[in-house]
Amino acid sequence: MRALRSIIPVRHACRSIHQGVSFDKSERHGFDPHSHVSESKTPPSCWYTSENIFEEEKDRVFGRDKSSNNSNWIPGALWNNLDEPGKYESGVFLNEPYLFVNDEGNSRAFYNVCQHHAAKLVNGCGSANSLTCPYHGWQYKLDGRLQMATKLKGIKNFKASQIKLKSIDSHRWGPLMFLNFFNQQNTFPDLKVLNDRMRIFLQGDHVDNFHKHYQHVKTCTYRVKSNWKVVLENYLDGGYHVRYLHKGLDAQLDSKSYTVERFENYSIQSAAPSKESSRSEKDFKDRIGDLGALYAYIYPNWMVNIYTSMADFNVVVPVDVNTTDIVYHYFFHKSRVDDLDFVSRGLEASHQVQMEDTEICESVQMGLNSSGYENGYYAPELEHIAHHFHQLLYKDLSNKRINL
Ligand code: FES
Ligand SMILES: [Fe+2]
């Protein structure tokens, strides 16, 4: 039996996972988190195609399973939408409606769900003195407590003072506001090296003063027909694909200076600007500027891309096993933000890169769904950060302690 099992192709093992075996029970999923990247194969295609594994990721990586010990922070709003008392921003992540609100200088996060009959309280961004439900008019203070409700004459077993919106742990980092659906007061990851590197772009300032140097100009969402991990792995190949897929961007970067570094729960890739006076129709030297490029990925689902005069923060939002949204928050340095030609050319160059990435991610997803692929290989010196991502993911999914 043992010999027979060892010759069953991994792909077939995956098919059985796809049909109902959970991540925990499938020790034969073909990825060994203890192997060194140089001798490790990439996770099997079922990681990218199995509805069950996708459901377990929702529970154990993104916090739907409250009994899990995991503690991942998810970006949910922009700080500049909350920078004055009364301002709020709402959103939905994996079907969880949430809202952030500035309550007299304190940022709070709640489930965006009325405690009467569960209607959504607010949409989008705005400013208010209280949160009023559009359904039957229940009104909540900005600290989440019920302030007013009408027509409740005769109600029993009801104490207005005990009714409040359900809160979610929140945290600010730089221009982003984060949620932690586990609600166990977990600490935010230590991003010391990233914070230090960000200072180079902020004239020595702390990342929480990002808004003093860069101004938000646009947020947009790209939908990609691939699993969310395909999107991240495209980011985590250590620049491997840049010279082949992004010829415009490649012309602006000094590929010899490209460095790839890994930290406890994030990675940083960086490159100096190209020394030659590069020409390209699709990108331009000025966009990268003298300080070059810094690309950071922070587990599980967000990235920082910063150049001398523009920056974008990406949030990778799983939609279903084959579909992912990437939210782009674009910022420009205040010294350039009024140069409309620069801004529009910068946005266009970024859009071009994303279109190239979208096409390849969708191609990869088709390959992962094909019988022609089981699992692949890492280029160790570059893709060790993708391997690290897979180890972190394995740890969350299996709830096992792994020495990384
Ligand atoms: S559901 Fe909000 S007041 Fe009724
Ligand atoms: Fe890319």
| 67-109 confidence digits (pLDDT tens) | 666 679 999 999 999 999 999 999 999 999 999 999 999 999 9
Residue 103 parent element (H or E):
strand 96-103
Using the mean position of ligand 1's atoms as its centre, give its distance from the Cα of residue 139 in Å. 9
Q: Which two tokens stand for residue 392?
A: 């972190």
Take atom 4 of ligand 1 and give the residue whose Cα is closest. 136
Hey, where are the domains in the chain? 1-71+191-404, 74-180
CB 389 within 8 A of CB 299: yes
Pocket test for ligand 1, best of 122, 136, 146 (most atoms within 8 A of CB): 136
For the chain, the distance separating the N- and C-terminal CA atoms, rounded to the nearest angstrom, is 33
Report which ligand 1 atom has the smallest distance to the Cα of 133.
2
Q: What is the pTM of this model?
A: 0.91
How distant, in Å, are the alpha carbons of 73, 193, 269, 270, 357 from that of 260?
23, 13, 5, 7, 19
Residues 53, 55, 58, 60, Cα dihedral to 10°: -60
How confident is the model at residue 188, as a pLDDT? Answer: 94
* Å from CA of 144 to ligand 2 middle: 42
Spacing, Cα 343 to ligand 1 middle (Å): 43
CATH of domain 1-71+191-404: 3.90.380.10
Question: How far is the centre of ligand 2, averaged over its atoms, from the C-alpha of 311 (Å)?
Answer: 15
User: What's the pLDDT at 29?
Assistant: 66
Pocket of ligand 1 (CB under 6 A): 114, 116-117, 119, 133, 135-138
Architecture of the domain defined by 74-180: 3-layer Sandwich (2.102)
Q: Give the list of residues 6+ apart from residue 287 with CB closer than 8 angstroms, or none.
A: 252, 307, 309, 310, 345, 346, 349
**H or E segment to which residue 57 belongs:** helix 51-60
Low-confidence ranges of the chain (pLDDT < 70): 1-29, 65-70, 277-282, 400-404
Distance CA 68, CA 105 (A): 32
| Helix/strand number for the chain, H first, E second | 12, 17
Testing ligand 1's pocket by substitution, the residue of 138, 148, 152, 158 carrying the most ligand atoms inside 8 A of its CB is 138
- Count the neighbouring beta carbons within 10 Å of the beta carbon of residue 189: 19
**What is the pLDDT, as a whole number, of residue 21?**
46
